[in-house]
Chains A and B, each alone.
Chain A
Amino acid sequence: MILDQVRPGQELPSLAHDVTATTVVLGALASRDWRPMHHDYDFAVNRNGTKDIFLNTPNQAAWFERYLTDWSGPRGRLGRMTFRMKGSVFPGDTMVLSGTVRAVETDGTGCGWADVDVTLAVAGDPKTTCAARIAIPTSDDDNPWSRRGDRWRP
């Protein structure tokens, strides 16, 4: 994909995933987050007062990254992500990631950018939103990963 193919208002293909206890525990341990509310049902329910264990934030960031680079391809390079947490995601939930391109630009160094608003929702209820800025090649020869120092302004 190159920047010319990206337009403001464009919708990304949505991604649905059925969350299980394994999803939550694997995600927590993969991000080295040992806190019990991400693997211990009894702790989550009786000490934290939540209905079950729930997805941790770093693992959600990994889901957002996967969602964005499924769309951009491997030359897409994440620059920035801003998260707002609204609710928790539990085993038994089907989470759906959806995204819309908010803006497209080329910065002063010639780097192409897409600003994408991504929502992770369960049954239509947004649980986490992510405002992402991802570098997209401006041509078949362009590779945002080759940018360093002053030529990379995320």
Chain B
Amino acid sequence: MGGPLGRRDRRPPRRRGRGVSERSELDEVRALIGVRQYEETADFPVERGYLWTSCASVQNANPLFWDDDLATELTDGPIAPPTTLSLWMRPHHWSPGHEGERLALQVHFDMKDRLGLPEAIISENTITFHEPVRPGDLISYAQVLRSVSDEKTTKLGTGRFWVVDVEYTNQRGELVGVESYTAFGYRRGA
């Protein structure tokens, strides 16, 4: 899965309490549709060294990333390869004061937890590219639940599909890209 490795949320995940029906939990989850959650800003600004490391890793000779004159002509200066979108929100492997586990795609894990669905798969992943990311930009993101399906049974088991968007913006608040994850959370068939 190609999700961003966001920091683990500071709030403890909500658990379905005794006597609270699954119906009301579902209503609460559905009330989160469209709400921006887990907003975070990158640990460091976009830097050109990483752009070249990314190009080198796939031998990408696109002159847009290597020829400054062409970048000035086409894109008004250097830009990041679009597929580096999630790179800027990946935390350092270690940094002072942030020891401990960091989880990917927190809203997804919240959904499993709140709906009581122990298994989940990501069935589809779409990235949409908007305003180019440029060296010096400071990228932020937020996770947004987009939809939760009615209960469905597939060959994996019975559960629900949900869609989580990760919206990336630059320091001017311009949308630079969206990652959209379609997941199926389920209980294994008996």
Contacts and interface: CB of A to CB of B under 8 A. Distances in A.
Interface in B34-79: 50, 53-64, 70, 74-75
Given A79-B129, A81-B127, A82-B125, A69 B83 contact: no
Contacts of A30: 50, 53-54, 56-57
Main secondary structure of the interface of B (DSSP, over half): mixed
Interface in B97-139: 123-132
A99 interface: no
A58 B128 contact: no
Contacts, number: 104
Contacts of A56: 2
A61 B56 contact: no
B89 to A, nearest CB: 9
Interface string A83-127: 111000000000000000000000000000000000000000000
Contact of A74 (B56, B62, B87, B125): B62
Contact of B128 (A23, A65, A145, A154): A154
A143 B70 CA distance: 12
Contacts of B123: 84
A82 B70 CA distance: 29
A56 B84 CA distance: 13
A79 B57 CA distance: 22
A27 B82 CA distance: 16
Contacts of A17: 59
Size range of the chain A interface in the assembly = 35 or more
Contact of B124 (A60, A63, A82): A82
B56 A26 contact: yes
Nearest to A66: B60
Contacts of A154: 128-130
A31 interface: yes
Interface in A14-34: 17, 23, 26-27, 29-34
9 contacts: A30-B57, A32-B90, A58-B2, A61-B127, A66-B59, A75-B74, A79-B129, A80-B128, A85-B1
Q: Which 6 A-B pairs have the closest CB atoms?
A: A57-B2, A32-B90, A30-B57, A66-B60, A74-B64, A61-B83
Interface of A: 17, 23, 26-27, 29-34, 56-66, 69-70, 74-75, 77-85, 143, 145, 148, 152, 154
